[in-house]
Amino acid sequence: MNNPVFHFEIPVTDMDRAVAFYEHVLELELHIQIVDDYDMAFFPRDDSRPGASGALAKGDVYKPSHDGSLIYFDVPDIDAVLARATARGSRILFAKKDIGEAGYVAEFEDSEGNRIALTQAQD
């Protein structure tokens, strides 16, 4: 069985600001397009690898929030990502924590007011 999550959408109110934030913080390039009259910015996706990908989404049905689902981005260095996020005005909501063999986790607030989590494999 494949992993059950295929796609996620992160609500934004200012697409340009959000794209600049995520591209800087996660050091990747998003692909912008309009889907069903909604502004979307897609994270990279490699269909040959396991895991999900998604998009930033702007529209009347998308409301940034600390509540609801929490998305974890797998990153090589949580400390570096948090440093880039705070340099862009983010607040750390949950400092980096060692969770044993599973590695590390942390949470921050993105440029739009969403709660976003990070995970990093054990060294």
The pLDDT assigned to 43 comes to 97
Domains of the chain: 7-120 (3.10.180.10)
Residue 1 confidence (pLDDT) above 80: no
pLDDT band at 72 (very low <50, low <70, confident <90, very high): very high
Encoded amino acid at 96, one letter: K
Average pLDDT of span 37-51: 91
DSSP assignment string, 15-76: HHHHHHHHHHHHT---EEEEETTEEEEEPP--TTSSS-EEEEEESTT----SSS--EEEE-S
